[in-house]
Amino acid sequence: MKQVKKYIAIGHWGKDKDATYSVATTGYSLKDARRDYVNNDFVAYVIISEERLNQIKGKSYSEICDEVMKMTKNYRRWEIIVDYLNQCMDIMEDHLANVCMD
């Protein structure tokens, strides 16, 4: 039986490309999470499971860069994602802690 997992995405809302946000959701798979973000008009640069975020936490800047390069081939977003992971880890952890598990 599949278990519901928590996911966090880094991206922007709709046409608001000037600001970067993180949004948490739940799903049985990455595909479920991606569908949820698209349906809510959130453009995700990268979607990270709670487990993977915990693995990234505490890594050095260069190690985080390596992880981000594995998660997305969109090199234009790498710096944004790495900076967000470095500066807003506490915010993302808070979002994940407060997301409802249905």
Averaged pLDDT of the chain: 94
Measured CA to CA, the distance from residue 54 to residue 101 in angstroms comes to 18
Q: In this prediction, what percent of the chain has a pLDDT beyond 90? A: 90
Q: Which amino acid is at 29?
A: S
pTM score of the predicted model: 0.92
Kindly report, residue by residue over 83-96, the tens digit of the pLDDT: 999 999 999 999 99
The string of DSSP codes covering 33-53 is HHHHHHHTTEEEEEEEEHHHH
Residue spans per domain, the chain: 5-98
User: Is the confidence at residue 2, as pLDDT, over 90?
Assistant: no
Kindly report, residue by residue over 14-56, the tens digit of the pLDDT: 999 999 999 999 999 999 999 999 999 999 999 999 999 999 9
As a whole number of Å, the CA-based R_g of the chain is 13
